[in-house]
Structure 1
Amino acid sequence: MLAMLAGCNSTPTTVDNTPTEAGPKQATSDGKALQAYSQSGEVEYNTMVETSVPVSELGNITPIPITDLWQRIRDGYGIPQSKPLHTATQQQLNWFIKHPDYIDRVVERARPYLHYIVDQLEQRNMPMEIALLPIVESGYQPFAYSHGRAAGIWQFIPGTGKVYGLKQNWWYDGRRDVIASTGAALDYLEKLYGDFGDWQLALAAYNSGEGTVGRAIKRNRKAGKATDFWSLDLPRETSAYVPKLMAVADLVKQPENYNITLSPIDNSPFLTVVDVGSQIDLALAAQLAEISTDEMYQLNPGFNRWATTPDGPHRLVVPLEKADIFQQGLAALPVDDRVQWTRHKIKSGESLGVIAKHYKTTVAVIKEANGLGSNNIREGRHLLIPIASGEASDYPLSASQRLATRQNTPRRGNKKVYTVKAGDTWWDIANANNVGVRQLASWNSKAPGDVL
């Protein structure tokens, strides 16, 4: 079924993007990017240490540990920021200054994941501004889904996600898995930096694609123009994308200059990854970890259903402070009790598809659970089927419940429920009900290209 509204032309609010500065890896004059596309225009940084103590005694100085994660991020900046700020960056910065409440919300959403992402960037010697990129992409909302079918805090589209190893199936969407998608995003950005030799160009390509940026560089070179990001003719969204990140970076660097107070985040791990070894009901896992089911889904947003996927990944993210009690609970729980099962007697005329729909599962899951090599089943035989331990409402952030919540959210206008018929298309339904295709898809947490 699809939910629709009549007499309402407002578009649901989408997450906004933001700019930032760069990180430790700097462009090099012999990089692939410079040979293939352009001159990077990189900035050289010379480090000079001034000291009033003999050099021989410097080794005895104990460095003061950084306790503030924001300071660790600032210390790792590596993308050159123009001074004064570029006009486009200043325009984006002005918006953030006027919306401190938005900054507060984003910081709270980022809190569980930010230290992990900073760690990953540091291990790769990448610019710490990239830790702020999910603010631009998704507002650090793990369940963010765009009209262009991009998902997760890093907003991967399906095709790019698959290229970078993110599994996407009925049970699981790696684009929303914070651990998997962070690794994929950093792999992709490193690849783009290798192509272009400049972080701003790499970020622009992350937003609009390598081809778009490469062609813009070639046009400028042919015309004898500069080939840095600010000189390129790029799509409007991309032209705002990098300035948004640079604006966020400047705001984080000196929030006091803009009367902004960043809520403190400790420079210590918040989460840890636990290998659970097999499929497990997420409500049960939450009980074992002594956290709410909501929090379990927020930390593991890649899982679409009531349980982890049967064929992996067999890992769960839990708060570090809950790791021991969770592992103790897992050890005491027999593997067979991690998922509840029901015994179904096959009736005349039933198919695996009909049975799967009844139990809100898939044919593949039933076949795997019962060792079936084909879709052929016989009346009177029994099938074992994994089922949720609770009601649908006990899994409020599963894919089906998120859709139900969105469809039931009060909005202006009259709501209408339409039952999709064989052969229907998004355009047919939208046209028949005098609404836009994008609007209709958005109301139903879909994209216009999704299968009905």
Structure 2
Amino acid sequence: MIIRKVSLAVSVLFSIAGFAQDVAKTDFQIKPDVKISYLDSVKSSFKKDELATKVDSLWMKELVSLDIYDDLTKDIQTINSDVSVDEELPTELLKQRLQVMNEKSPFEIEYNQGLENIIKSFLKNRKKSFSRLMSLSEYYFPIFEDAFAKQNVPLEIKYLAVVESALNPKAVSKMGATGLWQFMYGTGKQYDLKIDSYIDERSDPMKATAACSEYMTKMFNIFGDWELVLASYNSGPGNVTKAIRRSGGKTKYWDIRNHLPKETQGYVPAFLATMYLFEFHKEHGINPERAVVKNFETDTVQIKSQMSFKQIADLLDMPQAQIQLLNPSYKLNVVPFYQNEAHYLRLPKDKIATFVSNEDQIYAYVKHQSQFKSLPARLALKVTPRAKNTLEKSTQDIQFYKVRKGDNLGSIADKYDCSILDLKKWNNLKSNSLALGKTIKIKSADSVVKTKEIKTPEIDKKAVEEAVASTDNKDKSGAKPLEYVVVSGDNLGSIAKKFGTTIAELKELNDLTSNNLGLGKTLVISKNAAEIEVVPAENTVAVASNSIDTFKKKATTAKNIGEDYYVKKGDSLYSISKKYPGVTISDIKKWNGIKEDDLKPGMKLKING
């Protein structure tokens, strides 16, 4: 009898233990029901083209880097060909190489002391610039050569784009000349290049090169000499004709050079010096820094509805800078849609395949987004006409940005969704150069809320003002970036979902050109940690049993009571909170009396103090 009672007690005890284990398992196996965004749901339905060739890594910083353009332009305008330069290049060797170039070129390339001085000056001061230019040339030169071959223009003219714009389609001179070939507004219109509020085809590599080819052909029919054609391209055919008259009817560039405008006197020698450096770059130890996307790896698709570069980048998981590089003629980072006019988007071939295979979903998403163009997401307010004046006033406030190492006008313009011309206008800048530490003004008038599109009930004006004020204060305070260290099992998709952002935005913030992540890599999630909340924290399913919640809370608290944590290099409040289950950033701030994520190595933090 006693044995039976003992057996029964033991079996009951094991049953209770088993039940407890089941409860514990239930607790820790519950997975949050995360709500996915409309963007993610659209992308999850995309058909993938697994056979598409992966595009090469883009050297995207070159898109917005105008420093080479500034330097070369200044050199060509101020270079003195009469000043000898101390650079190791024997004159006899240079003469031999120039003769080799002359034999296979329609240009008359002859040695003279002025040309030697310019070549040596470039070798001494611009080696690094030419290394970068050669990398860019891998993308642009095939475009130029194709256009020139059709018109029987010497292929060597491609080097002129280096002299004109440093191969930057966004280059704009002080006089307003624009694009790779630096067309003035009137000349662009003369050669049927479209220029309006959305589009400037002077920045379109293919259309502008076709116009340049047409111009060169016409000028050669007039002068019959390619050096004079180049001189006319720089100073106009009228100035070349005057120089011919003043020289007594001579028709060779070197004979009339002294009668040409000062800038044009250095223009043709700079062109020939550029040709020399490209032809003999290996002999001087100049090599492309890294490869850019080749032209034959891209393709175009006709756009059926207006869409922004941001929308395209989000949908196709690619950086906006890559879209800008391939589509420089769209001035506002928007591909417009006009009735009876075709507009094309150029993309890497694998992205074209994704776009074409999923056009219906893409246009549906763009249409959906166009209905919500109003407030910034972080305000989450409905605006009425009564609040319009307050919001417009706040959104037109001037922001200030301090120039950091590596910044340039292009990258800052991209960051604040404005143009380089806007930045120059707002700050009275005459060149594209920026001094380190300089504070520049940024007007946010473009972000004025389009209240006419919103039809909602009225709200309390005071609430709107307070929300706008708090947003402004966030922007003006020293915002701390939110960072995340990649752990085993992470990928861009899971990290983007965790922080309520997109893969494209993560790539943009971290200059990533692929989806590969190294273990331990630190990613910037947001430039302002205060704006980010972890998505699962808002969307997790509540656990049914209060006893399980209580059990978890007690277990966590018991583990961490009285514990101190010493801050290590690279730590943030977020990364520290993840080390202690159940502990939040707000908890750590409260326990230690701190307001911002301003941590220093060695600092002691109380956990559950």
* TM-score normalized by the length of structure 2: 0.45
- Kindly state the Cα deviation for residue 264 of structure 1 after the two structures are TM-superposed: 8.2
Task: Look up the match of 1:88.
Answer: 114
Contact 2:198 2:332 in 1 (8 A): yes
Query: Which deviates the most, 120-129 or 204-213?
Result: 120-129
The one-letter code sitting in structure 2 at the alignment partner of 1:124 is Q
- Kindly state the Cα deviation for residue 107 of structure 1 after the two structures are TM-superposed: 2.1
How high is the sequence identity, in percent, across the aligned residues?
26
Contact 2:426 2:441 in 1 (8 A): no
Contact 1:255 1:262 in 2 (8 A): no
Distance 1:300 1:149, change over 3 A: same
Task: Look up the match of 1:41.
Answer: none
* Distance (whole Å) between structure 1 residues aligned to residue 416 and residue 281 of structure 2: 34
- Kindly state the Cα deviation for residue 150 of structure 1 after the two structures are TM-superposed: 0.9
The one-letter code sitting in structure 2 at the alignment partner of 1:229 is Y
Distance 1:257 1:218, change over 3 A: same
Paired residue total: 318
Q: Which runs of 5+ in 1 are unaligned?
A: 1-10, 20-73, 351-355, 361-391, 420-452
Write out per-residue CA displacement over residues 219-247 of structure 1, whole angstroms, 9 at most, x where no aligned residue: 32xx25x2111111111111111111111
* Distance (whole Å) between structure 2 residues aligned to residue 181 and residue 336 of structure 1: 33
* Distance (whole Å) between structure 1 residues aligned to residue 441 and residue 373 of structure 2: 34
Contact 2:413 2:423 in 1 (8 A): no
Distance 1:329 1:206, change over 3 A: farther
* Distance (whole Å) between structure 1 residues aligned to residue 394 and residue 438 of structure 2: 31
Task: Look up the match of 1:180.
Answer: 207
* Distance (whole Å) between structure 1 residues aligned to residue 279 and residue 216 of structure 2: 22
Match of residue 97, structure 1, among 123, 133, 156:
123
* Distance (whole Å) between structure 2 residues aligned to residue 243 and residue 279 of structure 1: 45
- Kindly state the Cα deviation for residue 282 of structure 1 after the two structures are TM-superposed: 1.4
Distance 1:358 1:257, change over 3 A: same
- Kindly state the Cα deviation for residue 160 of structure 1 after the two structures are TM-superposed: 0.9
- Kindly state the Cα deviation for residue 136 of structure 1 after the two structures are TM-superposed: 0.2
Distance 1:284 1:235, change over 3 A: same
Query: Which deviates the most, 394-403 or 176-185?
Result: 394-403
Distance 1:90 1:346, change over 3 A: farther
* TM-score normalized by the length of structure 1: 0.59
Higher relative contact order (CA 8 A, sep 6+): 1
Contact 1:113 1:271 in 2 (8 A): no
Matched, 1:14 2:70: yes
When the two chains are superposed, the root-mean-square deviation of aligned CA atoms in Å is 4.3
Contact 1:177 1:301 in 2 (8 A): yes
Match of residue 253, structure 2, among 212, 218, 229:
229
* Distance (whole Å) between structure 2 residues aligned to residue 12 and residue 258 of structure 1: 19
Distance 1:157 1:129, change over 3 A: same
Matched, 1:142 2:169: yes
Match of residue 340, structure 1, among 354, 358, 370:
370
* Distance (whole Å) between structure 1 residues aligned to residue 312 and residue 442 of structure 2: 36
Contact 1:166 1:175 in 2 (8 A): yes
Q: Which runs of 5+ in 2 are unaligned?
A: 1-66, 77-100, 375-382, 397-410, 428-432, 444-609
Matched, 1:291 2:318: yes
The one-letter code sitting in structure 2 at the alignment partner of 1:129 is E
Task: Look up the match of 2:157.
Answer: 130
Matches within 5 A, 1:346-361: none
Distance 1:343 1:274, change over 3 A: closer
Matched, 1:260 2:286: yes
Distance 1:212 1:359, change over 3 A: farther
Task: Look up the match of 1:216.
Answer: 243
The one-letter code sitting in structure 2 at the alignment partner of 1:227 is T
* Distance (whole Å) between structure 1 residues aligned to residue 197 and residue 288 of structure 2: 38
Match of residue 419, structure 2, among 375, 381, 400:
400
Write out per-residue CA displacement over residues 151-204 of structure 1, whole angstroms, 9 at most, x where no aligned residue: 111111111111111222221222112222122222222221222111111111
Contact 2:153 2:216 in 1 (8 A): no
Contact 1:154 1:185 in 2 (8 A): yes
- Kindly state the Cα deviation for residue 327 of structure 1 after the two structures are TM-superposed: 2.4
Write out per-residue CA displacement over residues 359-394 of structure 1, whole angstroms, 9 at most, x where no aligned residue: 99xxxxxxxxxxxxxxxxxxxxxxxxxxxxxxx999
Distance 1:410 1:238, change over 3 A: closer
* Distance (whole Å) between structure 2 residues aligned to residue 204 and residue 246 of structure 1: 12
* Distance (whole Å) between structure 2 residues aligned to residue 140 and residue 278 of structure 1: 31
Distance 1:154 1:235, change over 3 A: same
Structure with max Cα Rg: 2
